[in-house]
């Protein structure tokens, strides 16, 4: 998904940016508001990548099979851009044929449930640290089965405790807030939870798979943003927490601001998965201090996202973030591997 400013008619034409001062009917952001919005987007994008990567490593070391991340193979990576394109175009057709209001109502309810579960999972480690030791922890189990006797089959078997219940209640409050108000803070809480879970629970099986995935989505992002109006139309019509937003008119309107810069979660999760891979235990053929690749990739992501924002702000047009993120996230680690004489070992 591209980074973009608030979905207004003026921005469709690449003119209006945000509220700061009004010139005729076009709203222009103040330099302070623009800097705060873009800086906040970069900061929010880095949070799920960094903490999701660290949590993924711990998850990978867990002996509990239910905690193991889902592995993406080279075949999955090659098919992903095709599936994403079909999904994107399908949404575009839905918004063109059916009422946007009803589609977003269904999507809101769907993401309401997903958001509660994602935010609860995100809060769980933090709750484990702060939960008072003198409060008894009770265990619960939610079990749904089908059939009886030898043909009985488990449909749902979910075990949780008191701490999980508290996380669920807090997440439900955020979910109700989002459903009723569509407030940008509630949107970002869900969006950050989705992004962190995406980085934590998806795992690439090797570096080549990451290159295939990034390369395919590079073409996907560029085509649907520059080649058609599909991506921008869906991004502006889709009222769901699948993007991080931050108001450019915060200084003028406070928490009630409504002119936003945005960043799609795909521009966080996909590069984040590739960054996360460099934190896993390296082959013995690689030299020590292999976290150099993670820090290099992390800086590459910051550089690529900064380039995206600079170009978007300069030309006043939505940009496919992966156009800048992919060359940076692949190029920087490859250069480091070449300098260290470890390129072949890295791809192994």
| Alpha carbon distance 183, 33 (integer Å) | 18
Residue with tokens 């820090």: 295
Closest among 216, 211, 208 to 330, alpha carbons compared: 211
123 CB-near residues (< 8 Å, 6+ apart)? 167, 170, 171
Both structure tokens of 100? 């946007």
Q: Which entry of 5, 164, 221, 249 is annotated as an active-site residue?
A: 221
| Alpha carbon distance 75, 216 (integer Å) | 12
DSSP string spanning 209-228? HHHHHHHHHHHHHHIIIII-
| Alpha carbon distance 17, 9 (integer Å) | 10
Give the sign of the dihedral formed by CA 9, CA 15, CA 19, CA 25.
negative
Closest among 37, 48, 89 to 266, alpha carbons compared: 48
Q: CA separation (Å) from 195 to 85, 94, 282?
A: 20, 25, 25
DSSP string spanning 64-129? -GGGSPEEEPHHHHHHHHHHHHHHHHHHHHHHHHS-HHHHHHHHHHHHHHHHHHHHHHHHHHHHHH
Active site residue 221: yes
Active site residue 76: no
DSSP state of 151: G
Q: Which entry of 5, 164, 249, 267 is annotated as an active-site residue?
A: 267
Residue with tokens 């990978």: 60
List, by residue number, the catalytic residues: 221, 267
């Amino acid at each position: 998904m591209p980074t973009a400013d608030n979905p207004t008619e003026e921005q469709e034409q690449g003119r209006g940016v945000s509220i700061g001062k009004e010139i005729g009917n076009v709203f222009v952001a103040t330099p302070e508001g623009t800097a705060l919005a873009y800086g906040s987007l970069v900061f929010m994008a880095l949070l799920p990548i960094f903490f999701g990567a660290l949590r993924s490593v711990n998850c990978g070391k867990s002996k509990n099979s239910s905690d193991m991340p889902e592995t993406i193979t080279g075949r999955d990576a090659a098919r992903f851009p095709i599936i994403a394109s079909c999904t994107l175009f399908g949404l575009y057709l839905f918004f063109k044929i059916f009422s946007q209001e009803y589609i977003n109502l269904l999507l809101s309810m769907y993401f309401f449930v997903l958001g509660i579960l994602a935010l609860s999972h995100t809060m769980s480690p933090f709750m484990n640290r702060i939960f008072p030791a003198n409060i008894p922890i009770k265990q619960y189990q939610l079990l749904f089965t089908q059939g009886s006797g030898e043909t009985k089959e488990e449909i749902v078997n979910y075990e949780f405790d008191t701490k999980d219940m508290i996380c669920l209640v807090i997440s439900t409050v955020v979910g109700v807030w989002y459903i009723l108000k569509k407030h940008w803070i509630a949107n970002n809480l869900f969006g950050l939870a989705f992004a962190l879970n995406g980085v934590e629970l998806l795992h690439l099986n090797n570096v080549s798979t990451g290159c295939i995935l990034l390369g395919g989505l590079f073409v996907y992002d560029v085509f649907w943003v520059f080649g058609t109006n599909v991506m921008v139309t869906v991004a502006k019509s889709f009222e769901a927490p699948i993007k991080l937003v931050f108001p450019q008119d915060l200084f003028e309107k406070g928490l009630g601001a409504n002119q936003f810069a945005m960043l799609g979660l795909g521009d966080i999760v996909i590069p984040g998965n590739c960054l996360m891979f460099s934190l896993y235990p390296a082959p013995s053929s690689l030299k020590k201090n292999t976290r150099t690749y993670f820090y290099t990739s992390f800086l590459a992501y910051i550089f690529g996202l900064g380039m995206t924002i600079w170009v978007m702000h300069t030309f006043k047009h939505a940009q496919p973030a992966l156009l800048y993120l992919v060359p940076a996230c692949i190029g920087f680690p490859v250069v480091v591997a070449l300098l260290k004489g470890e390129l072949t070992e890295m791809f192994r």
